[in-house]
Amino acid sequence: MGATVGIGLLLVAAAWLGGAWLVRAFRAGLTSMRADTAAQLGERSGEIDRRLDAMTHAMDRRLGELDVRVDRRLESATRTATQIHQELGKLGEANTQMLDRAKELGRLEQALRPPKARGGFGELLLGNLLADTFPADKYELQHTFRSGERVDAVIRLDRALVPVDAKFPLENFQR
C-alpha cells in the first residue's frame, strides 16, 4: 500500500503540476493575445488618425478654396452694386437736368407765344447766324429799301441784295 499511495501522490502531484503548467500557459497565451490585440488596435488607431488628418487637410484646403471663390464673387458683386449705384446717380442727375431743360423750354415757349417776341427772337437768331457765316460788309440788319419797305436783313451779293425776313416757326419748335 505504501507504493500505491506513493504512486497516487505522485499522480496527484503530476496532475497538479500539469494543471499549474496549463494555467500558466493559458495565462501566457492570454497575455500574448492581449499584447497582439493592443498592438493591432494601436496600428489601426494610428491608421485611422492618419486618414482623419488627411481628410481634415483636404477639407481645410477645399474650404479655403471655396472661401477664396466666395470672397471674389462678393467683391465682384460689391463692385457691380457700386457701379449700378453710381450709374443710377448719373441717371438721376441726367433726369433732373432734362426736367430743368423741359422747364426752361416751357418758359421759352411761353415767352415766344406773342408774335412780337417771336419776331424779336427770330431776328436775334438771324443776326447771330449771319455774323457767324458772313463778314460784316456782306450783310446788313434792318435794311430799308427806297420804297420804304423794311426787311430784317439783306445779304449783299456782287450786284444784288437778297432780302431775308426772320420768322421763328413756333409750330415746328413745339413739335
Confidence of residue 64 (pLDDT cuts 50, 70, 90): very high
At residue 172, the pLDDT reads: 54
Band (129; pLDDT cuts 50, 70, 90): confident
| The pLDDT of residue 114 | 64
Tell me how far CA of residue 107 lies from CA of 1, 97, 111, 122, 173, in angstroms. 153, 15, 6, 16, 13
pLDDT surpasses 60 at 98 = yes
pTM > 0.85: yes or no: no
Q: Is the pLDDT of residue 135 over 90?
A: yes
